[in-house]
Amino acid sequence: MNNSVLLDVSKVTAGYGNIMVLQALSLQVFEGEAVGLVGPNGHGKSTLLGAVSGITRIQSGAIHFAGIDITNSKSSKIVKMGLSHVAQGSRLFSDCTVEENLMLGAYLNRNRKIRSASFNQVFTFFPKLYERKNQLAKTLSGGERQMLAIGVGLMSQPRLLILDEPTLGLSPSIKSELLLSIKKILQSGASLVIVDGDFTFVRELTERWYGVSLGQVAAEGNSKEGMDERTLKKLFFGESVHE
């Protein structure tokens, strides 16, 4: 594996108004690597992703992507550099067609050849999207929406793909279908940061994981070695007084 750092988050403090959700959080993602973020809700995972993609303003600290400082840069600049963030929840343009949604994913890419290559790639990963090309996004099923959201994220040909809760609300069979597709995406060489409540899903996809709690990295480990129950309990429920 290439050992250069692709994403370097260094002592980032960020939040909303006066409330700082991230407290000097640091983590790194290497080129070609897949990293998982786990931890209780409301402890900063999505805020961190927002800070990385330019949605949330950072109070202090720095973020570098491929060696370039992107601290508080505009999202458009960050997307252009090859970082694509598929946010949690409603992330589609529901009154646009599937094709238009994908087109928007390639908004900054005016080169037709590259764009049609992206279309082909997305349709290879998610053949269903091709069938539904002319349908409005709001008429898709939950699983298809998820696929479209990831497809939109892939249209900019990212070096780093960030997925926030991709399996939320999906049935087990659709989850495993999605797992296979994301694996294929990883084989194509992109790096990945994934946040998900389903640890098995995260473990299957990633090489390393970080546990985020109270706005800091509270634990980290190798995904293949598994996440031991005690560490996870501590991450989610805090230190036991009896220990």
Partner 1 sequence: MNDAFLSIVISGLVLGSLYSLMSTGLSLTWSTLRIFNFAHGAFMTLGAYLAWTFLVFLHLPVIIGVFLALLCLSVSSILFQYVFISPFLKRQQGDLLVMVTTLSAMTIITTLIQATWGPHYKQLPTLIEFELKIGATTIGANQLMAIVLAPVMSILVSYLLAHTRLGLAVRAVEQNRNAARLVGIEIQGVQSITIISSTILAGIAGILLGGITFVSPVMGDDPLLKAFVVVIFGGLAKLSGSIYGAYVFGFMESLSTYAFGLFWTPIVIFTAMIFIMLFRPEGLMRGRTS
Q: Which residues bind partner 1 (CB under 8 A)?
A: 53-55, 74-76, 79-80, 84-87, 90-96, 100, 103-105, 107-108, 152, 155-156
Shortest distance in whole angstroms from residue 91 CB to partner 1: 5
- For residue 225, what is the DSSP state? G
Give the span between the Cα atoms of 184 and 177, in whole angstroms: 11
Name the residue nearer to partner 1 (CB basis): 108 or 168: 108
* DSSP-based three-state secondary structure for 243: coil
Shortest distance in whole angstroms from residue 151 CB to partner 1: 12
Give yes or no for a contact between 185 and 154, defined as CB atoms under 8 angstroms apart: yes
- Rg (alpha carbons) of the chain, rounded to whole number: 18
Name the residue nearer to partner 1 (CB basis): 51 or 103: 103
Name the residue nearer to partner 1 (CB basis): 83 or 218: 83
DSSP E strands in 116-215: the ranges are 160-164, 191-195, 208-213
Shortest distance in whole angstroms from residue 194 CB to partner 1: 16
Q: Which residue do the tokens 């890419």 mark?
A: 109
Name the residue nearer to partner 1 (CB basis): 80 or 233: 80
Shortest distance in whole angstroms from residue 228 CB to partner 1: 35
